[in-house]
Amino acid sequence: MSCYQSTRNQTINITETEAILQGISKEGGLFVPKELPKMDFELNALLDFNYQTLAYRVIRLFFDNLKEEDLKGCIAHAYDEKFDTPMIAPVKTTQTAHFLELFHGPTLAFKDMALSILPYLMTTSKRYEQEDKEIIILTATSGDTGKAALEGFADVPGTKIIVFFPEEGVSDVQKRQMTTQKGENTLVVGIKGNFDDAQTGVKQIFADQAFEAELAAQGFVFSSANSINIGRLVPQVVYYFYAYGRLAQEGSLQVGEPMNVVVPTGNFGNILAAYYAKCMGLPIGKFICASNKNNVLTDFFEKGIYDRRRDFFVTNSPSMDILISSNLERFLYYMCEGDTTLVTEFMEDLRTKGYYKVTEKMQEKMQLFEAGFADDETTLAMIKKVYEEENYLMDTHTAVAYAVYDSYKTRTKDLTPTVIASTASPYKFTGSVMCALDKKYETQNDFVLLKEMEKLLNNQMPEGIRGIETLPIRHQCVCEVTRMKETIADFLK
């Protein structure tokens, strides 16, 4: 049976269903498998598995407490017609790169890959644990998690979902996607601050035992839809196996040969899922961690020092505008071989001093990772270059990844087949993407540009975003960071 423990307390040992329901450990640590499982199928099988079959074969290795019919039911409900392709996560190969398209779900971003299944994992876990309290999903978002979580949990019985986002830190389309969300159990709140403020506020609320007891007396219990929840992270492992199978199927690599991955990341969950895949047996060579101007992760991998004491930049890749990467805590746990005391020290140093430095031994183990960053100008230049030369239109986050990969390839001459995680549709960031192609679009708003992009691509605008500019605004709440807890209490009353 799977066993999970906290990154900050090795004496905590719980099942996956308890970990999924709790979301985060009481002392602030994140739940990790006590032992990462190994794949129990041959690499050749990846050529034949469809996405749903592969999802079952991978996820069950982490969540073996779930009955076969229950897990298969979760997967069947998650990966169905809500995705606009039966492949779920197709790989698009151009002249210079392989793009793992993770944006074919209802909200046009990679968060759909995990947040389509999390509500089913959570309600199944609730049944297993005989939890009778109403689950309050509490989430901070830098743009994409919020809408994907809202879409997944809207009107799910026995749950309510509250999403906090930076009021001035998301694209117009992202904001409209969230504030027009239907569902009697949903609340969307803009905060006067950045994503790190929202994320820190949510973590503090999770750690507030008095508030927890107060809500428990009213019949509520907190959980999370952020990638701090292991039920969010594990489903993301699947698509790296799937990408490998697609590259082998098209002959871009031979089964058994390594594959590199490039991931644009802020909170480190998406690239950590790739690391899990490697630990399970998938032949991944290099992990290339791509950041925007908020390049705290680039500095971390180059110097072994994580330092959030720096300016925060609002960029044209807003989902990566993050200085505190929550899932990096899980990575530290593996790099220091499960020394929870050391992880706790790092997290306390980050909280009190604003930085921490890893040991030399940990830094040596981190050599599997390369890191780089791209500023706004480079990001826009890459969008224009790839569209004009390869007829492939990237969103800004994917363009950051492409720029970092292009630089890595030039520097190292590494020709290993490489998959770039394409984390969002260009339709989500129309203003930046269209202006990258032609300055004439600078005077037009994002919603006008949706139609311009549709004409440019000569394809139909995705269902999840069509007509969004005319939908009624249902959520207009804005609050100070210091008022997040009161906002939650008012909603639950």
Catalytic residues: 111
* Alpha carbons 92 and 419: distance in angstroms, whole number: 10
pLDDT of amino acid 144: 80
* Alpha carbons 396 and 401: distance in angstroms, whole number: 9
CB 382 within 8 A of CB 406: yes
Give bridge partners of residue 109 from the DSSP assignment: 424
Which secondary structure element, helix H or strand E, spans residue 32, and what is its range?
strand 31-33
The one-character DSSP state at 103 is: -
Which secondary structure element, helix H or strand E, spans residue 33, and what is its range?
strand 31-33
The one-character DSSP state at 109 is: B
Question: Helix, strand or coil for residue 239?
Answer: helix
The one-character DSSP state at 20 is: H
Closest by CA position to 379, among listed 441, 449, 443, 426: 426
What tokens appear for 338 in the block? 């499960």
* Alpha carbons 322 and 194: distance in angstroms, whole number: 8
Structural domains present in the chain? 91-107+231-460 (3.40.50.1100)
pLDDT of amino acid 226: 83
CB 284 within 8 A of CB 258: yes
Give the distance, in angstroms, between the CA of residue 356 and the centroid of all CA atoms in the same chain.
Answer: 24
pLDDT of amino acid 339: 97
Please list the rounded mean pLDDT of every run of 10 residues in the chain (493 residues).
91 95 93 96 97 98 97 98 97 97 96 95 96 93 87 93 93 92 96 93 92 95 90 97 98 98 95 98 98 98 97 94 95 97 98 97 97 98 98 98 98 97 96 96 92 92 90 96 95 91
DSSP string, 207-225: H-HHHHHHHHHTTEEEE--
Number of helices and strands in the chain (H, E) = 20, 16
Where does 261-325 have alpha helices with state H?
269-280, 296-303
Which secondary structure element, helix H or strand E, spans residue 122, and what is its range?
helix 118-128
What are the strands, taking DSSP E only, across 145-295? Answer: 159-166, 186-191, 220-223, 259-264, 284-291
* Alpha carbons 390 and 424: distance in angstroms, whole number: 18
Label residue 456 left, alpha or beta by phi (over 0 means left) and psi (-120 to 50 means alpha). alpha
* Alpha carbons 97 and 108: distance in angstroms, whole number: 21
Q: Rounded to the nearest 5 degrees, what angle is found at the Cα of 101, between the Cα atoms of 100 and 103?
A: 150
Where does 322-445 have alpha helices with state H?
328-335, 340-352, 360-365, 376-390, 396-412, 430-437
What tokens appear for 7 in the block? 């990154």
CB 338 within 8 A of CB 29: no
CB 152 within 8 A of CB 445: no
Rounded to the nearest 5 percent, the helix, strand and coil shares of the chain are 50, 15, 35
Question: Helix, strand or coil for residue 482?
Answer: helix
What are the strands, taking DSSP E only, across 127-257? Answer: 134-140, 159-166, 186-191, 220-223
pLDDT of amino acid 169: 87
Q: What is the dihedral of CA 318, 330, 423, 481, to 10 degrees?
A: -30
pLDDT of amino acid 460: 85
pLDDT of amino acid 493: 86
What tokens appear for 401 in the block? 């990844």
